[in-house]
Every structure is written in C-alpha cells, then in structure tokens.
Structure 1
Amino acid sequence: MRFALNEMGFPRDDLVSNAELLAEAGYDGIEPNLTADGPLWDDETLGAFADRLDELGLDVPAVSTTLHWERSLSSADEATRAAGIEAGERMITVAERLDAGAVLVVPAVVDEETRYDEAYDRALDSVKRLAAAGADADVTVCVENVWNDFLLSPLEFARFVDEARDSGPVGAYFDVGNVRRFGHPEQWIRILGDRIERVHVKDYRTDVDTIDAFTYPLEGDVDWAAVAEALAAVGYDDWVTAEVPPYRTAPERMPPRVASDLDHLFS
C-alpha cells in the first residue's frame, strides 16, 4: 500500500508547504482539492507545484473536490450541471499534469427537490461525459460513496460504475468511514472488488448520530482488521488516503501520527 493525506487534513495554508510537511512525515503522496478560487485553476501555479512534488518524491493519488455538492452533476438545472462538468474537466486536467491517474467526484445529491431516479439518470450522463474526457487524459473518474443519499448499497454502487464504464475509465473511490454509518465496509469492499480504484480512510463512532461521528483511524468502530483482510482478498494494493481534519491544537502533529497508524493497519 501507499499512503497519502487529503487536503482536508492540511495544517498549513499553501500546497507546497503542506507537501513538504507530508514528505517529512513519511507519506508517499498528497491529495489536493480543487476549490472555487483555489490555486489549481492557475496553470503556472500548478506547474510549480508539480515540479516541487518531483523534488520531494511525492506522488498524487487523485484530485478531489467539494464543488460537486453545490455544482451538482445530478442537478435538474442545466447550468448547474454544466458548472459541475466544467469543474470535473479541470480536475482531469490537473490530474493529468500531476500524473495522478484519478479524480474523485460526488456523482449526485438527492434531496427533497431531487427525485432519486432522475438524479441517477442525470448523474450517470454527467459521469459518462467526464469519463470520455478522462479517457483522453488516461485519468479514471472515481465515484465516491458520500452522505448524499445516493448509491446506498454496494450492489447499486457496482451497477452505477459498470454502466458508466461504457464511456471511459470509471471506478469506485471507496470511503471506509462513510459506509460504517449504515453498513459494514468489509462487505462493500468484497462486492465492489476490482472496481475499487482508490480508498479513503477515516473512522466512525456508532454511538454518535451526527457528522461528529467521524474520527481518526483507530478511534471509532470500524473493524480495521476485517477491512484490511477484505482489501487483500480483492487484490487491492494501491493508495490508502486519510481524509481527516487537522488537530484543533498543534495541527502539524496530526499528519505524522496518522501516517504511523496507516502503516500499522495496512503494512
């Protein structure tokens, strides 16, 4: 396995400074996040970041974003969907420049105004369009299981990935902690199998029924031994990326501690 940290956990303000911290902490990679007005929209800044990563010996497992919550790929509004696709296309460009090989997308958001079946069809169309762009750049579009009231079972998740693959490279970005709320991560892993292209890790406390249930690996109720066994059973031996926030106090102490825990769990 190779280990990385998602931008959610960055304790410093700029990408390069965080990359230097992660390299010192022993990570193999860094996972940046495309934001609305962030540095990844600027080609010159992106090039300088790529050069610094080469110097540090860090790779990029994927490019992520939170933009698809507001620029939903399943929105009934065409302009909103177009903005989401534009963000996804930029992510693919960034991933190609950083040799990431993957982007993380939230495929849909289901709510009171958005019917599940209609969201499914629109999300599938949007992901297929991004997959076609990803094929040209040799970048896999990875759909993540998040708290969006969508793809609520591993069987449906697998079906969505299989249907979207008709248009280009599509896989699952499997988040261990996100599943623990309503299922068992190890079961999802065995069902998704080789569809899994990337893995996010965080822990989850089952005695807390809010977003505060998420916590750091080894501090919740995920059966990590079963997760590691399931990943081995399906032949997954690639990126494991922590997606956890920095500590409120002494934030720079979190990355090396989590790196040590990842090594304990998966090495």
Structure 2
Amino acid sequence: MPLNISRRDFLSATLTTAAAAASGAFVPSQIRAGEFTGKIRKAVKYHMIQAPELSVREKFQMLKDLGYDGVEIRTVDKANENRDEVLAARDEVGLPIHGVVNSSNPDIRTAVDLSKQYGGTSVLVVAGRVNKGRQYDENYREWFARLKEAAPYAEDQGIRLLVENVWNGFLLSPMEMATFIDEIDSPAVGVYFDCGNVVRFGWPEHWIRILGSRIVKLDIKEYSRDLQKNAGLWKGFDVEIGDGDVDYPAVREALKEIGFSGWATAEVKGGGRERLEEIARRMDEALSL
C-alpha cells in the first residue's frame, strides 16, 4: 500500500509514534497509512507458522519482520510444553501473545491461567456443539452455566472469555448470540467474531452492527458461495482473503460504526515466510491497515 503523505504528516506521525512508545501505548510495527492503522492489530495463529526448521524465537522474529503485531496460541499447541521458551521468545522479540484458543474444551480456568501467563487478554471459546444427538436447549443451558461460572475467575485475572461464531449448530443468528452474551451478564464475556464463518448463511456487516461493542476480537478469513455451491460446503473456505464473498469495505464501515479497535487474527491455511507475507499483505488490504 503506497504511503502518499507529506513531510509534515510524516513528522507528525513520527512524533506521535515516539510519544506513544514512551507512554507504553500500542505502536504499529510499521508506519502505515490505512484507515484502521493503530486501531486494528494484526496477528496469526501460532500453528499457522509452518517452518519446523525455525526455533520458537525465530518464528516470533519472522512474524515481527513481516509486520505482524502479535500472535495467538492454542491450548493444544505443542509449544506450550516449554512455556519458558515461548515467554523468552515473546520478550526478546517484543511480539505479544494476545490470547489463547481453547475451542470447546470445558476446562476454561486452565486456559485463563495460560493466557494470563503469556500476557494475553482473552480465551477463545466455542460454546459446545448441537447435532442430532445433542439438544439445542441442553447445549444452551450447559454452556451458559459454564461461562457464567468461569466469568468471575476470568474477570479477576483480567482475561476476557470470547465466544466465537462457528459451524457448531449453535447461536445461529446475531440477535441470539447477543442475547446469550447479555444474559450471562458479565464484563468478562464477549464475542470473538469470525467474518468468514457467517457468509454461508448471512452477511458479516449485519452481525457486526447487531453485536456491536460485544465484539472484542476478530478472526479473519474468507468464504465463497460459488465454491460452496459447485464444489461442496467446506470448499467455500478455499479462497484467499479478499477474493471471496466477505464484503470487506462493508465490514470496515460496520467496524467503524461500532468504534471497533483491537486484535484481528488470520485463521487461514498457513505456511512459511512467503505464505505468511502474503497473508499479511491481504490483511492490510482487507482491513485497511
């Protein structure tokens, strides 16, 4: 993305960046000129780094060199077996671990502890699964109770429990998801909104406006209705960020309307340096970073 800024604007941006750094505020890893620069922080999931020849520190350094502002790690990732190495990589490189992904693991407290240890701010939660053998209302009651019970502990630790909209047959509309979050009635519980997951049956910008400030973090990927129709349901995800049916200009407008700022994490097919560089470029374009 070209940087068409004047010398005065550049000096102003430089002074602002220096002041922010001195105050400990977030500073983008690169000087950019997008609408959401400094408002949205760009990350990837740790397991997307497919470079087995690199150490944990080298992986963190590569992400920082490519312009990522942070990383998110799953509770099941093997890297957690040596947390000291992960923490050292974080500190030496200066790349934050903004949260952990716990999916539908019912052990939420352990995930909260891990996120806290890594300096994260959230645990991504998948609220169960509804299928032929699993009643909808049963799943609702169980995960409502589970999140309600874990919320005070998470709040005490400064960690948000963020429910993601996924293909689990549950919380199938933004209004229901909003009600579910509101009825738990805890400042620790919010939404981890996935832009690509709703395209199969809806429009991300509609969900964003309805969920509003409940949205704390974003997952970024794509979905193609054409591939869904002609190649199969799950094939709809086989499209690059910006090339599918997520209307990212409309998404940006909705995010602007709700005043969103925070982490946006790619959740797509990973790879080595070249692949991660491409993902970073596509995120910059889609989110105007």
Same-fold call, TM > 0.5?
Answer: yes
Is residue 7 of structure 1 aligned with residue 46 of structure 2? yes
Q: How does 1:134-149 map to 2 (within 5 A)?
A: 134-149=154-169
TM-score (norm 2): 0.79
Q: How does 1:112-123 map to 2 (within 5 A)?
A: 112-123=132-143
Q: For the residues of structure 2 that align with 1:18 and 1:112, how far apart are their CA atoms?
A: 42
Q: How does 1:177-192 map to 2 (within 5 A)?
A: 177-192=196-211
In the TM superposition, residue 176 of structure 1 has moved relative to its aligned partner by 0.1
CA RMSD of aligned residues (A): 1.6
2:212 pairs, out of 183, 190, 193, with 193
- Is 2:79–2:86's contact at 8 Å kept on the other side of the alignment? no
Is residue 211 of structure 1 aligned with residue 228 of structure 2? no
Is residue 262 of structure 1 aligned with residue 276 of structure 2? no
2:83 pairs, out of 38, 46, 49, with 46
**For this pair of structures, how many residues does the alignment match?**
242
2:73 pairs, out of 21, 32, 37, with 32
In the TM superposition, residue 244 of structure 1 has moved relative to its aligned partner by 0.5
| Runs of 4+ more than 3 Å apart | 13-17
Equivalent residue, structure 2, for 1:169 = 188
Q: How does 1:44-193 map to 2 (within 5 A)?
A: 45-66=82-103, 68=104, 84-86=105-107, 88-166=108-186, 169-193=188-212
In the TM superposition, residue 223 of structure 1 has moved relative to its aligned partner by 0.4
> What one-letter code is carried by the residue in structure 1 that aligns with 2:160?
T
Higher mean C-alpha deviation, range 111-120 or range 7-16: 7-16
- Is 1:246–1:252's contact at 8 Å kept on the other side of the alignment? no
In the TM superposition, residue 115 of structure 1 has moved relative to its aligned partner by 0.5
Greater Cα radius of gyration, structure 1 or 2: 2
In the TM superposition, residue 15 of structure 1 has moved relative to its aligned partner by 4.2
Q: For the residues of structure 2 that align with 1:64 and 1:15, how far apart are their CA atoms?
A: 18
Q: For the residues of structure 2 that align with 1:255 and 1:39, how far apart are their CA atoms?
A: 19
Q: CA deviation digits over 1:116-175, x for unaligned, max 9? A: 011100011111222222112110000000000000000011111112234x50010000
- Is 1:131–1:165's contact at 8 Å kept on the other side of the alignment? no
In the TM superposition, residue 235 of structure 1 has moved relative to its aligned partner by 0.4
In the TM superposition, residue 65 of structure 1 has moved relative to its aligned partner by 3.3
SS state at 1:177 partner: coil
- Is 1:10–1:245's contact at 8 Å kept on the other side of the alignment? no
TM-score (norm 1): 0.85
The percent identity for this pair of structures is 35
Q: For the residues of structure 1 that align with 2:257 and 2:216, how far apart are their CA atoms?
A: 15
- Is 2:124–2:164's contact at 8 Å kept on the other side of the alignment? yes
Q: CA deviation digits over 1:202-239, x for unaligned, max 9? A: 01001122212113211211100000110111000111
Q: For the residues of structure 1 that align with 2:56 and 2:181, how far apart are their CA atoms?
A: 31
> What one-letter code is carried by the residue in structure 1 that aligns with 2:118?
L
Q: Is the alpha carbon distance of 1:244 and 1:151 closer, same or farther for their aligned partners in structure 2, counting shifts above 3 Å?
A: same
- Is 1:145–1:174's contact at 8 Å kept on the other side of the alignment? yes
- Is 1:20–1:56's contact at 8 Å kept on the other side of the alignment? yes
SS state at 1:112 partner: coil
Structure 2: 5+ residue stretches without partners: 1-39
Higher mean C-alpha deviation, range 223-232 or range 209-218: 209-218
Equivalent residue, structure 2, for 1:80 = none
> What one-letter code is carried by the residue in structure 2 that aligns with 1:131?
A
- Is 1:11–1:18's contact at 8 Å kept on the other side of the alignment? no
Equivalent residue, structure 2, for 1:75 = none
Q: For the residues of structure 1 that align with 2:140 and 2:183, how far apart are their CA atoms?
A: 11
> What one-letter code is carried by the residue in structure 2 that aligns with 1:259?
A
Q: CA deviation digits over 1:168-206, x for unaligned, max 9? A: 500100000001111000000000000001000101001
